[in-house]
Structure 1
Amino acid sequence: MSRLRMRHFQLLDALDRLGSLRQVALELDIKQPATLALINDLEFAVGVPLVKRERSGTTLTSAARLLLARGRVALQEVALGREMARSRGAGGGRLRIGASPYLINSLMPELVTVLRSGHPGIQIDIQEGTLDALVADLEKGKLDAVLGSVDRAAVLSSEVSLEASFLAAEPMCIVAGRDHALFARAKCSLAEVLAGPWALPHVSSHLRAIFDSAVFDCGAQPIAPDLECRGIDNLLALAAAAGLLTLAPRSEITRRRWKGRVVAIDSPLRLIGPPYVFVGRRYAQPVPEVELLRELAASAARKLFGPAEPAASRRRR
């Protein structure tokens, strides 16, 4: 193991992407026999075969893919550590955070304000995306943490050990735009709600899965929305303008900007949303910047959404 270097993991990464030892040698700017020597070093250190040589090319074994999953994180971490070491003279540091669009709009302003007040030199890189894609980037070492309604199965099935901390939970509700027939109704029937018309998140989103599950549990046929769009803000704005039904977290529709434009309706369609969680990689020794981010995210979530559930609810792998 003491003979292994970053070059060995760079080779595995390139081989996984290129599938050719000749192409790997060109990319790493080494001779092809040197690639074979690096593979031999790795296989000797790990004790199992890592590559399969076939007519179609050279591919990785399942054992190599498990090693590579962690090797890619190591490469990312070393590169980030180098960058942070260089920036320390300016009092810096860097955190790369992935979050759902809703939490970027609702939770992130409070979190960034508190973070920068205590650490004014820190650099913060916030990335928006689907939660599945963000968790995949976290696994690869491209992000330090993900905030959102991440499914527990995604955490447990990861090839890299992840841990999820509860941040908050809030009820989801059905919302009617101002020109919808249900806007001024105190109550409505299930048939009236299902009739729509609907503005819904895309099928691939967690919110859409929540909605479709609620419809299924009622024994109704799947809803074909009139409009599909990404982002809570976008859905509410479109529902308000076009007189549509949509869904949103309760805390969002209580904001002043939505007053008189949308309203939560008392509906038999019950939406059970997953909690918001902070997901990070599990380290043998805690990383101070990530632990600080975790604590501040929990504090900001309590301020915005109310008290968190007991600490025992924290799940680890």
Structure 2
Amino acid sequence: MSRVETFPMVAMREAEEWVGRTEERWGCLTPELAGMMSAAVSHPLSLRRDVRRGCLMPRLWHWAAFPEFVPLSQLAEDGHPKLGDFLPPLAFKRRMWAAGKLSFSGSLRIGERLRRISTIKSVTPKTGGTGDMVFVTVTHQIEGETGCFVEEEQDIVYLHIPDEFKAPKRIPELETPDFDETVPINEARLFRFSAATYNAHRIHYDLPYAREVEKYPALVTHGPMQAIMLMETAKRHVGEPPRRFRFRGVHPMFHSHDLRLQGRLAPGGKSMDLGTAAPEGYLGMQATAEWD
């Protein structure tokens, strides 16, 4: 009997019917949205950014270019759009963006029309220290008006909400990093990033919900925001944006503490190990940037 047939509490046969499903969407990172994003991720060491129409779009900012205009009646309790349209309807109450990898050809520009083709690549059940879970892998191809494009693979994990918060095993921060910078985190920054990305997931701005329903000790710092800050830091220290980037969330970061951005350039300068770290010395996100 296969793992799909024995996996509990999940209609895996129905979910697997979503594999191969595609969706086409058109979007644009307007100068106004770019300004909102810049204000959300800026900190004292940030690069100056020109967000006028036609300027180069910073890497990963395309995440704000395709907002989902879902009516309030079609939102789930957690603030996400209800499942069953593009993403498969699985019997879990928690959804998180777990990991991603991207490659870039050329540079997109602020204000240009973007086309995104999304495909569900796989639906994979797993069992770990936190119990049963399902990973849904989605690929995106984003193309601009001049032929520049981004190839992206995104892993979304579906989990059950625990009865109480149990932190995952802590992974130590980077050893001997070339830089270790602190970014102030608070409720206002999380709200601004949610607004810039049109993300209504309540764990980022609704403290009673985060604590009482999803059992987090505080508001959760967005994974995509951490990735954007790491990407910008890698560009700032090397002098040009990487051609490839991958990241993985390993421990939730919270609004109750600031975020440390760490990086260590590999010999030869063609890749960099990156991570966000809590003040106590453990990683929230692991990432790698590559220039070759």
**Bigger helix fraction:** 1
The normalised TM-score by structure 2 is: 0.23
The normalised TM-score by structure 1 is: 0.22
**Which structure's CA Rg is the greater one?**
1
